[in-house]
Amino acid sequence: MVQHQITAPLIVVSNRLPFVLQRNKDGVISRKASAGGLVTAVAPVVVDCGGLWIGWSGLHSKEPLEFIPESDPDDKAPTAGLLSKQVVAVHIPEREFDDFYNGCCNGTFWPLFHSMPDRAVFKAHTWDAYCSVNREFANCTLQALRNSLRELDEQEKFETCPVVWIHDYQLLVAATTIRQVIEEEKLRCKLAFFLHIPFPSWDIMRLFPWDDEILQGMLACDMVGFHIEDYCLNFIDCCSRRLGCRVDRNNMLVELAGRTVHIKALPIGIPFDRFVQLAETTPRFLKLAESEKIILGVDRLDYTKGLVHRILAFERLLEKYPEHVEKVTLLQISVPSRTDVREYRQLKEEMDQLVGRINGRFSMPNWSPIRYIYGGVTQEQLAAFYRDSAVALVTPLRDGMNLVAKEYVACQIREPGVLILSPFAGAGGMMHEALVVNPYEIDKAADTIHRALNMPLDEREVRMKQLRHREQQMDVNHWMNSFLASMGAVNNSDQADPLSTKMTPLTLDDFDQYLNNHIDTICKLSLILDYDGTLAPLTSHPDLAIMPEETKRVLERLSNMPDVNIAIISGRSLENVKKMVGLDQLTYAGSHGIEILHPDGTKFVHPVPFEYAEKLRELVQLLEKEVGHSGAWVEHKGVLLTFHYRETPSQQRDEIVRKACEIFQKAGFEPHEAHMAIEAKPPVKWDQGRACIHILRTMYGADWSERVRIVYAGTEAAMQALSGIACTFRVDSSPTVRTAANFRLEGPDAVLTMLKWVEKQMNKRSPRLTRSPRLSRSPKHQRKQNTLDYSLSFEDEEDIVGNTSASFLINGRQRRFNSNCLSSN
């Protein structure tokens, strides 16, 4: 394997450090080598490029670990050259670590990602601990990145971009914090993530209550790697269906908030040559009769490994093919795992009883059918077992890759054996020459073992030769080089940076997928659109948020179509949003829907308590006095108030926001978070969602759902109310927002493209003259030049049933009625 020269420092972030730290009774810490393919491949690269390795020390202490010893001079492990200054130990309090690791990682993600949701436990406090630990890893990584960039700048390597490589399911959301900070501080780096376990399908992933945060955390990277293409496609499908991202399944690309994320299958390999060397030099450990054959199983004692199914299949083999009695022995090595977890203790008891029962049933004076080792074995012993076994049973119920299958193949240097492999391991889709069997089919598994034991030598040689050749070519160094090449981090001037490939720009054709099934040729269409950030770009001051002329022209043409009605809903005052849009035939909703003006002049105003206005004035004064500085300012919008901090320097932002929230709460207001702003809203049970429903009912009547199609584009304020009613688009450039929307759009340009698509589709309809439903129900005198000021407001809790009350403002006189009487004031 040709080793490419890495062109940038590599910062590896994993749950554990690449070696084991131990503290003796005197408190002295020692360093011990750790075996594993990941360490074997990655550690030498970190050493060579002067990179860093960040991980938990494995030791619980009250204070962060200040000293990490150097490696022993006689240490020959791959980590021997990794200096202590290249290692960053993450400190995690013991209680928090337990919630993070045992509670969330192993109690939730391990069974969920292995498609066993019935074993998963969803608890908010363990998820909180998981996020907290991920933030701590992120903060350690950011500090290491800053130090690395400082050294590069001192060497005048201003173009060199460090690669941060995050590993596995323990750190799924660490990149969220890293991405936010590197964009704020403009730190140069490339972010990558690799998942070493399976990624589940959408119907499994959606069970996790915070699945969007997981997906967004992974998408904060520039490249996300999985073992096999199936996991890549599962991930892309989840991003499309849960986050509403644009995806390119052919090129394995996902777009989120304008960033293109590359998804890549990188099947991990093993240190092939090292296992060959071990097989060649290790003596024989098994003492067998002359014709006795060994069937080998090597696994952690885990419910995903299919151990019980394997033992039952072997029992069925002896029942169905008694000629193997006294001729074949199953050697099952089960490495203890998570012995403090009840489910794992129960699995051990079940295995002990099952092995005991089968041995008691079939044993002879000089032969037992199963040799069961509950414990670890050395690398030398394992290589010998691989080499001397006639059959390897690798039959997990679900597994990311499974390196045991690859290690067995590497050690087949003498008379070749046969590999039996589950299709539910990642390796099952690559090692085609193995005998593939579904572990759930006990009878079929027994038949496959029988076939393997009787397979002719020439067939075994052909199969094993192909398997060995592939694994030798695609060893762990190939995996490492493939990753570096995917990140554009190797010295290869002939190729452009692979990460420079971007998703094609959003076009009208994209909306064929989004809206084709939603807009038909018969139903009317209601477009409900937010203003700021949706029709007009977000700016430093609201007065600068001008809607593009092209957008205005498209809206005007749409508003003149007989089957289209448009409503603009905004947090601005009603007068302001109407002025900013400047079109007459639209419905306008200001102050988040508290004020609504229809095209016919009908106006709705939701009642607001009288004392609210005075409290709002006091809040304005307090905010301007206490936090109206450093780019922060207060916008008073009638019944609403917005505290803007978009222009506040990032290093002061958290403190300004904290103080502002305290002022809101002391003044008796609940602070509502907006985009780089905090809003004070009236204490009424009315929001954009209810306003949208009111607009639709007023426009089309109560039975509109079968006759009208709704498209909403804007913020999250109305998503819940319109869920299942409208086709919804969340318009936001932030990659970390939670949304109930069907799809995402990055900003006003994407919304303009959507409006053009709608115009194109509506122009395909046969022309006909149809009056808008709202205008058709208005009295004739209301369509005259001097329209009436006609205001309707419903009480919050009684707007549908019960003692319904409402008020009208007609020609300046208020009239009030309820379900029992009508009176004039």
d(CA 740, CA 730): 8
In this structure, the strands spanning 813-818 and 805-810 are antiparallel
d(CA 624, CA 640): 15
Biggest CA–CA distance in the chain, Å, is 110
The residues, any chain, with a CB within 8 Å of residue 679's CB and separated by 6 or more, are: 571, 640, 641, 642, 643, 671, 672, 673
Cβ neighbours around 414 below 10 Å, total: 10
Could you tell me if 153 and 184 are in contact, meaning their C-beta atoms sit under 8 angstroms apart? no
Could you tell me if 140 and 92 are in contact, meaning their C-beta atoms sit under 8 angstroms apart? no
User: Which parts of 195-323 fold into alpha helices (H)?
Assistant: 202-205, 211-219, 229-243, 272-281, 307-320
Cα–Cα distances in Å, from 86 out to 18, 161, 237, 413, 608?
Answer: 11, 18, 38, 38, 62
Angle among Cα 146, 484, 181 to the nearest 5 degrees reads: 30
Instruction: Count the residues in the chain.
Output: 825
Cβ neighbours around 682 below 10 Å, total: 19
d(CA 791, CA 808): 5
Could you tell me if 699 and 587 are in contact, meaning their C-beta atoms sit under 8 angstroms apart? yes
Cα–Cα distances in Å, from 366 out to 32, 304, 369?
Answer: 41, 33, 10
d(CA 160, CA 149): 9
Catalytic status, residue 227:
no
- According to DSSP, residue 440 is labeled T
Whose tokens are 């707007």? That residue is: 799
Three-state SS at 3: coil
Could you tell me if 413 and 379 are in contact, meaning their C-beta atoms sit under 8 angstroms apart? no
Identify the burial level of 73 via C-beta atoms within 10 angstroms of its C-beta, where 0-12 means exposed, 13-18 middle and 19 or more buried.
exposed
Could you tell me if 244 and 203 are in contact, meaning their C-beta atoms sit under 8 angstroms apart? no
The residues, any chain, with a CB within 8 Å of residue 465's CB and separated by 6 or more, are: 416
Could you tell me if 696 and 705 are in contact, meaning their C-beta atoms sit under 8 angstroms apart? no
Could you tell me if 755 and 555 are in contact, meaning their C-beta atoms sit under 8 angstroms apart? yes
d(CA 592, CA 684): 12
Cα–Cα distances in Å, from 321 out to 126, 318, 384?
Answer: 49, 5, 28
- Structural Rg of the chain based on CA atoms: 33
Catalytic status, residue 168:
no
d(CA 176, CA 133): 13
| Full 3-state SS string of 78-110 | CCCCCCHHHEEEECCCHHHHHHHHHHHHHHHHH
Strands (E), 458-549: 524-530
Catalytic entry in 99, 302, 399, 475: 399
Catalytic entry in 4, 60, 91, 196: 196
Whose tokens are 């490495």? That residue is: 335
In this structure, the strands spanning 677-680 and 672-674 are antiparallel
Three-state SS at 647: coil
- DSSP code string of 676-741: TEEEE--SSS--HHHHHHHHHHHHH-TTGGGTEEEEEEE-GGGHHHHBTTBEEEEE-S-TT-----
Just list the catalytic residues: 196, 399
